Amino acid sequence: MATPNKDYYAELGVKKSASADEIRKAFRKLARKYHPDVNPGDKSAEEKFKALSEANDVLSDPKKRKIYDQVGFYSDNIDPATAEAYARGGGQPGQPGASGGFPGGFPGAAGGYQTYSGGTGNVDFGGFDFSDLFEGGRAGGRKTTASSSSSSGGGFRDIFSSIFSGGHPAAAEEGPEPGSDLEYQVNVPFWTAIRGGVMKLNIARRDVCGNCHGNGTIEAPGVCPQCHGKGTIEQTGGRMKFNVTCPRCHGTGKNVSTCPVCHGEGTVERTDPLEVRIKAGTRDGQRIRIAGKGNAGLRGGGVGDLYVIIRIGQHPLFRREGDDIYITVPVTAFEAALGSKIDVPTIDGRSTLKIPPGTQSGQKLRLREKGVPSATKEGARGDEIVEVQITVPMPRDEKTKELLRELAKLNPEDPRAELWGKV
């Protein structure tokens, strides 16, 4: 009885008088904050989200909310007429019609809590030791009401909210949940991406727990020791008896317990070595899908995929853009002015590049099919684009200076003439 009351209104941060619209808005706001997608791997956020969903499930349904308001908790086992009867305080003990929703019904026609408050032992509560429960409730630090007739109401709520919070059957009813995909960024060296190769990776992923085969529970011979195989346990409070789903076996009646290896998760974290083949011509930013290497699913849900995202390393000389290679090459003013053939580096080694006469600094010359072989188009290759960078002569001797002055006199052009025309 150590579990605190479930206050759905407090959970959603609304008043008991809140309208349906206020409840809806409050839930949406909190759900956005605590949604598992927004907080991946955060257990406390997940728990909070579950609690919010449960509160919203009850409070957003007028019928469920009414029962919750009347009885102090909600269960599908309670029918509205009985809740109504309970709320009125009198009830119709002994009348079959009033006890329809409660498998145990009202056990004793003679029983009324007015009789109970006297503390006499002559009332039949189905063998249930009433006073012990209330003692337990107080010991647990919950509100202590005076031992008058009104205390049974408070105690009743405490008892049942504890039962329901302890063994919520929702977990057992969840279906298979597919495993999530994983994304890994891999830094591939410049040359490996061009020529192809194999990258050895270590991938941390969640795998099916070998101990419980993903169930999260292990089954021992025999039946559930709490419900003795029935799947339900009988709980009594006030004049009522309830058959509630057994919290230990979630209604299966089997002798199950939480798997000690995965602590009920069904999956365990493990690191797998993985070899990823890098195709020749792989581009930066490319995603490689490796089916079935993501996280394991729960309760028989399929396994996710692994996505490897390629990040290509830098080269001191070559710059890669798609299948094209860019390089900047210095050319002397004489080579550029007169035209020449020079050797330039390519990813295959040396290649001859023709510099046309009158080439300007910054001009880009193309070496066709000297780029990266395409990973997707068989036989296709990118180009190498050479940016020309003119080096200016540095005359140190008088003879050269004299020749350059003579050259200047022969070519009296003004390279800035066009600029002035545009000002």
Counting contacts by CB under 5 A, is residue 261 touching Zn ion? yes
Using CB under 5 A as the binding rule, whether residue 255 contacts Zn ion is answered as no
Closest separation between CB of residue 153 and Zn ion, Å? Answer: 29
Q: Does 249 bind Zn ion (CB under 5 A)?
A: yes
Instruction: Let me know: does 211 contact 258? Beta carbons within 8 Å.
Output: no
CA–CA distance, 348 with 120 (Å, rounded to integer): 100
Answer yes or no whether residue 212 interacts with Zn ion by CB under 5 A.
Answer: yes
Neighbouring C-alpha atoms within 13 Å toward the C-beta of 215:
11
- Say whether residue 248 binds Zn ion (CB under 5 A): yes
Look at the block and give the residue holding tokens 């188009």: 377
Q: Answer yes or no whether residue 246 interacts with Zn ion by CB under 5 A.
A: yes
CB of 177 to Zn ion, least distance (A): 15
Q: Write the CA distances from 275 to 186, 197, 206, 268, 272, integer angstroms.
A: 12, 10, 18, 22, 10
User: Which C-beta is closer to Zn ion: that of 259 or that of 276?
Assistant: 259
How far is it, in rounded angstroms, from Cα 383 to Cα 388? 16
> Please, which residue, 23 or 227, has the CB nearer to Zn ion?
227
Query: Between residues 172 and 342, which has the closer beta carbon with respect to Zn ion?
Result: 172
CA–CA separation, 349 and 167 (whole Å): 72
In 10 A of CB 400, how many CB atoms? Answer: 12
Minimum CB separation from Zn ion for residue 105, in Å?
22
Does 262 help bind Zn ion (rule: CB under 5 A)?
A: yes
> Nearest distance from residue 93's CB to Zn ion, in Å?
29
When the beta carbons of 261 and 329 are compared against Zn ion, the nearer one is 261
Stretch that binds Zn ion, among 52-60, 72-80, 82-90, 202-210 (CB under 5 A): 202-210
Closest separation between CB of residue 327 and Zn ion, Å? Answer: 56
Do the beta carbons of residue 350 and residue 344 sit within 8 Å? yes
Determine, following the binding rule CB under 5 A, whether residue 227 of this chain makes contact with Zn ion: yes
Residue 319 to residue 283: CA distance in whole angstroms: 12
Q: Which of 208, 224, 278, 355 binds Zn ion (CB under 5 A)?
A: 224
Closest CA to 326 of 289, 360, 365: 365
Residues 368-396: b if buried by 16+ CB within 10 A, e if exposed = eebbbbbbeeeeebbbbbbebebeeeeee
- Pick the piece of the chain touching Zn ion (CB under 5 A) from 117-125, 137-145, 217-225, 342-350: 217-225
Query: Quick one: which of 58, 59, 98, 259 contacts Zn ion (CB under 5 A)?
Result: 259
The verdict on 226 binding Zn ion (CB under 5 A) reads yes
Report the alpha-carbon distance of residue 47 to residue 31 in Å, rounded: 12
Query: Closest distance between Zn ion and the C-beta of residue 38, in Å?
Result: 27
Site size with Zn ion, rule: CB under 5 A: 12
Q: Min. distance of Cβ 293 from Zn ion in angstroms? A: 21
3-state secondary structure 283-319: CCCCEEEECCCCCCCECCCCCCCEEEEEEECCCCCCE
Q: How far is the CB of 206 from Zn ion (least distance, A)?
A: 12
Q: Would you count residue 209 as binding Zn ion (CB under 5 A)? A: yes
Which residues, in sequence order, are bridge partners of residue 223?
Answer: 254
Judged by the rule CB under 5 A, the positions of this chain that interact with Zn ion are 209, 211-212, 224, 226-227, 246, 248-249, 259, 261-262
